[in-house]
Structure 1
Amino acid sequence: MTSFSTTTLLKRLILGVALIGSAALSSGCYAGTTSTTAKTRYPIVLVHGMAGFDSILGIDYFYQVPAELRRNGATVYVASVSSFNDNDVRGEQLLKQMKEWAAASGYTRFNLMAHSQGGPTARYVHGVAPEMVASITSIGSPHDLSAMQGSNALGDLLTNYSKVVAAFGSVIGWASGNSKLPQDPVALQAWAANTAAFNARFPAGKPTTYCGEGAEKVGNTLFYSIAGNQPKTNGWDISDAVLAKAAASTPGVATDGLVPVCAAHWGKVLRDDYPWNHLDEINQVLGLIGKEAPDPVAFYVQQAARLKLKGL
């Protein structure tokens, strides 16, 4: 088995997603025309990953995605959870917001579309309040790190740099207007070093084998996942050099530059070979993707259309 350090994964998550903030120079939006392509029965909730945010300086983490979903008829909420914390804490934060949205709107269920660590966070919510989750679509999410080695090194990394990492998370929180959200890299470490335990607590959608596929439907909830497998996609994208270098350190492992493809499998795998890297999956940095690569924003609309056809 090829060794893939979870230390390496966490370093990459911190560095790669941070590049979004450094590139927040301008923003774009889609036209305000209307269609019903993405008009799902239940609202869509976008859930960010580690080192993520809802928006900073007018730049959406899911760049241009909320506007395009709304343009196509969807009701969209964007979650705000801790940038650095475990999935229990982040999940409770997400659940609290969902309950608030439900009380204000009358909706009783939600379709969660979650990137990176947002995937396990969404699964926590399903585990404790399945009646509120109509579907979970995870994008480049590190669901299963059990096949990776080096968890002791991961512990050393986050123990030594916990204050720095926590401060970084606080900066993101301040810039996005969510400075009161707690940052706890040690709790994050505990989850990343033992995803098997988390998956045992919340097994719905778990693949029958590593790199396999899980059930599409568990109870009344549908589970989907996708992944990219091209770390370097656009020479003009400032993140590509970092992602390509990171991927080169683990030869033989298919990855989006941050998360191994196999670790992203959960529920029904719609596709795991998108020519995207980890930031392309959320249309970052600022919409720069590979030549002739599928439009990531269009994926979110297409997935909403799929959920609509499923009656969700």
Structure 2
Amino acid sequence: MGAARLRIRAPAFPEPPVVPLRYPVLLMHGLGALALPWRPSQLHPIAEHLRRHGIRAYAPNVAPYAPVARRAERWRQYLQHVLEETRAPKAHLIAHSMGGLDARYLIARLDGYRHVASLITIATPHRGTALAELVLKRPATVRRWLERLARRLSHLLLPDEPTALLDTVAQLTPAYVTEVFNAEVPDHPDVPCFSWAGMAGPGTDVPITPCIAPLARYIYRHEGLNDGYVSVRSARWGRFLGTLRVDHLRQVGVRIGPGARFDEKTFFLDLCRQVLAPIESGAFVD
């Protein structure tokens, strides 16, 4: 009996489907530099994935431990670079964690509304986080150690960027964000704002990255359901799109030990396909 013939059928269109966005996408990271030793930028793998689908995505780095105003100014410079390179009049912003506060400041205080088509925030502490209060309550020796650690890490990875960890953390307390930041940084009516929250650990059946489980328990006692850094209540802003069943780190692909399974690249791609594209066409339905 003769050998069976091997038949291989090549797909007609092997390339990934293109998402036809008119405007580029600027991905804005949050506090810290945890992923940088392994990536060119915190959100670089996501930007690469979006580019494979025809989306002009950018994921630059700003100071990982600097106050909002300083980071927002750097984002403004990057936004200008993106617009010049793509020759687009506007860009979409997708911001994770503290990056959402940076984005709001950029839009409201640095005239970013002229060049921003939309803003999506993911697990942003729009009403602060109890975790910031926990850090500031640590003994002075611990706070100084954290400040030195942040300075060394930032200098190692981004030597030209300033570092002011404790000043930055002070801007993330519930009192500061709700009483000062939100009053001084109002939403602009010309820029639609959408938000996602995250939850894992206490009060849920979602496994959480072990190293942030104690943080989640602390926040749960003070603010309820959370993702280990930011509560669901604090993350709701603008048009709320839902709650991701995954912790803060895994939302952007940082995996340290066991935790919930989550495809962050597909999630960001779906945001572009299901939210940004309809916004551009005027067909978005909440």
The TM-score range, normalised by the shorter chain, is 0.7 to 0.9
Q: Where does structure 1 lack aligned partners over 5 or more consecutive residues? A: 1-31, 205-217
Which of residues 219, 232, 236 in structure 2 aligns to 1:261? 232
Q: Distance in 1 between matches of 2:139 and 2:88?
A: 39
Could you say which structure has the greater relative contact order, defined with CA pairs below 8 angstroms and 6 or more residues apart?
1
Q: How many residue pairs are counted as aligned between the two chains?
A: 257
Q: Distance in 1 between matches of 2:38 and 2:50?
A: 21
Q: Distance in 2 between matches of 1:301 and 1:150?
A: 31
Q: Where does structure 2 lack aligned partners over 5 or more consecutive residues? A: 1-13, 282-286
Q: Which residue does 1:190 correspond to in 2?
A: 170
Q: CA deviation at 1:105?
A: 3.2
Q: Which residue does 1:228 correspond to in 2?
A: 198
Identity in percent: 21
Scaled by the length of structure 2, the TM-score of the pair is 0.78
The AA in structure 1 aligned to 2:216 is A
CA contact (8 A) 1:229 1:254 kept: yes
Which of residues 109, 118, 126 in structure 2 aligns to 1:143? 126
Q: CA deviation at 1:54?
A: 7.7
Q: Which residue does 2:15 correspond to in 1?
A: 33
Partner of 1:143, secondary structure, is coil
The AA in structure 1 aligned to 2:235 is A
The AA in structure 1 aligned to 2:50 is L
Partner of 2:226, secondary structure, is coil
The AA in structure 2 aligned to 1:195 is V
Q: Which residue does 2:276 correspond to in 1?
A: 307
Q: CA deviation at 1:96?
A: 1.4
Scaled by the length of structure 1, the TM-score of the pair is 0.72
Partner of 1:103, secondary structure, is helix
Partner of 1:227, secondary structure, is strand
The AA in structure 2 aligned to 1:185 is L
Partner of 1:221, secondary structure, is coil
Aligned CA RMSD, in angstroms, stands at: 2.9
CA contact (8 A) 1:54 1:78 kept: no
Q: Deviations over 1:111-140 (max 9, x none)?
A: 111111111011111112211211111111
Q: CA deviation at 1:158?
A: 8.9
Q: Distance in 1 between matches of 2:216 and 2:170?
A: 24
CA contact (8 A) 1:54 1:80 kept: no
Q: Distance in 2 between matches of 1:149 and 1:233?
A: 20
The AA in structure 2 aligned to 1:307 is L
Q: Distance in 1 between matches of 2:152 and 2:191?
A: 35
Q: CA deviation at 1:100?
A: 2.5
CA contact (8 A) 1:133 1:221 kept: yes
Q: Distance in 2 between matches of 1:150 and 1:55?
A: 22
